[in-house]
Amino acid sequence: MKQMNACTLSYIIATRNRLHFLEITLNKLIENLQPDEEIVVVDGASTDGTREYLQELFKKGLIRQYISEPDRNQSHAWNKAMLMANGILIKKIIDDDVFCYNAIRQCKNHMLRSPDIDLCLSNTLGSNLLEYTTLSVANESNHFKNWKAGKTPSFAFSDSSVMIRRESLSFLGFYDTQFKMMDWEYSLRATFLRANITYYTGYNALSVYTPGNVSSTATKEELKQEGKIGKVKYNYIEGYQISSYSRIKIFIGKAIHSLSKKRGAPPANKNIYDQDIAPIYEKLYHILDSYFSENDDFIG
């Protein structure tokens, strides 16, 4: 009996009632999927048609696995997805973000050639749904170099760009379900544990800040408490402050939420953006792809 080809990369998605974003993201991902890769989707019992949409994709063989059931919070959902993944590597795909699959493949090939690497991160662009032509850049390479040289015990980065080796989960663990800024905590943990990390100098992700995202709903009290834990547990040198990149995410997220209210936009779980966001996202994919270069390298 002929064996199936080994799965080298699992793309994982956790979502709930965000079909208007998910359709765009999954269509682009499916277009770029390679035969040795899989798509795993965890849906938190959506009521907006997501379950039916995923069922149809599964029947057509376009996604490998999906479940639709309640979860306790976003960390719980992402942990389910990581447990379901079959790939040697795992790439998190956030339903409202934009990804450069050429750059992702660069990271994938590098990690497959270097089996000692636990995770790979990269530079990241940022934008927002209402003012998408304004871009921010998150370049953590200097923080990475200082950490690599032993000058800092830990540093924070967004997980939108991260690719992780599945076997490394036994060392690094899963997302901490008590944290709202779960990627912030995970990055501190991975660096504090001195994981073997490589840094891709290109851009494989563009974070799009949308109304109602988790960052925009974080309270000052939650951030302060999580900052305290980061300082004590991981000797985080920024003290009680969330990382500069996460602060930007929170600020833009809250600004969008405020702006959308002023403009009279309905709640984010409504399908008001069905007609509007597809061309915006197409432009954002084009912008991110324009940053790709085959000469982008790896540090560490």
In CATH, what number is assigned to the domain containing residue 130?
3.90.550.10
Report which of 118, 115, 228, 98 is spatially closest to residue 173, judged by C-alpha positions: 118
| Separation of alpha carbons 231 and 234, rounded Å | 6
Residue ranges making up the domain that contains 238: 9-299
pLDDT higher than 60, residue 256: no
**187-231 pLDDT, tens digit each:** 999 999 999 999 999 999 999 988 766 666 678 888 888 888 888
| pLDDT band at 65; cut points 50, 70, 90 | very high
- The answer as to whether 2 is a domain residue is no
- The answer as to whether 4 is a domain residue is no
- The answer as to whether 3 is a domain residue is no
Q: Classify strands 98-99 and 136-138 as parallel, antiparallel or unpaired.
A: unpaired
**133-160 pLDDT, tens digit each:** 899 999 999 999 999 999 999 999 988 9
Q: Residues 218, 192, 208, CA angle at the centre, nearest 5°?
A: 35
**Do residues 207 and 263 make contact, with C-beta atoms less than 8 angstroms apart?**
no
**105-131 pLDDT, tens digit each:** 999 999 999 999 999 999 999 998 888
- The answer as to whether 44 is a domain residue is yes
Cα dihedral 60, 275, 70, 94, rounded to 10, equals: 80
- The answer as to whether 293 is a domain residue is yes
Neighbouring C-beta atoms of residue 16, cutoff 10 Å? 21
Q: Classify strands 89-92 and 65-68 as parallel, antiparallel or unpaired.
A: unpaired
Neighbouring C-beta atoms of residue 99, cutoff 10 Å? 25
Two tokens at 129?
């749904």
Task: Classify burial at 84, counting beta carbons within 10 Å of its beta carbon; exposed 0-12, middle 13-18, buried 19 or more.
Answer: middle
> Structural domain tally of the chain?
1
